[in-house]
């Protein structure tokens, strides 16, 4: 982070947050109530055959991989619209179009956000 800040013409900040629930997005919003550019790039997976992924794992993966970006985007979009400027980026993965058999749960995330 220090190296990025040394070259930045504006404020650059980072926050470590747990996105397994809404509290992680809340912590980010509390520290940075407004942003001009939001980059959603969180994504977790565990190589596992589709038939062996229990419902609890699906909910956890969806919470982190999809809802974290939804929560942050929903908050920051309002300010961007008021200022008539801003960017929300979702970093994708090749897994959205070429889903590995052992990572259906991860590839599905990219299909939801693109």
Model confidence pLDDT, tens digit, residues 38-62: 999 888 888 888 899 999 999 998 9
Quote the pTM value: 0.74
Distance CA 3, CA 19 (A): 26
Catalytic residue list contains 106: yes
**pLDDT band of 88, cuts 50, 70, 90:** very high
Q: Find the catalytic residue in 76, 106, 107, 110.
A: 106
């Amino acid at each position: 982070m220090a190296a990025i800040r040394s070259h930045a013409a504006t404020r650059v900040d980072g926050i470590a947050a747990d996105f397994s629930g809404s509290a992680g997005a809340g912590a980010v919003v509390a520290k940075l109530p407004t942003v001009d550019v939001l980059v959603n790039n969180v994504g977790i997976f565990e190589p596992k055959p589709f038939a062996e992924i229990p419902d609890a794992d699906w909910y956890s993966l969806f919470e982190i991989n999809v809802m974290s970006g939804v929560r942050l985007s929903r908050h920051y979009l309002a300010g961007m619209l008021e200022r008539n400027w801003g960017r929300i980026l979702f970093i994708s993965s090749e897994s959205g179009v070429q889903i590995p058999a052992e990572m259906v749960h991860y590839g599905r995330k990219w299909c939801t956000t693109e």
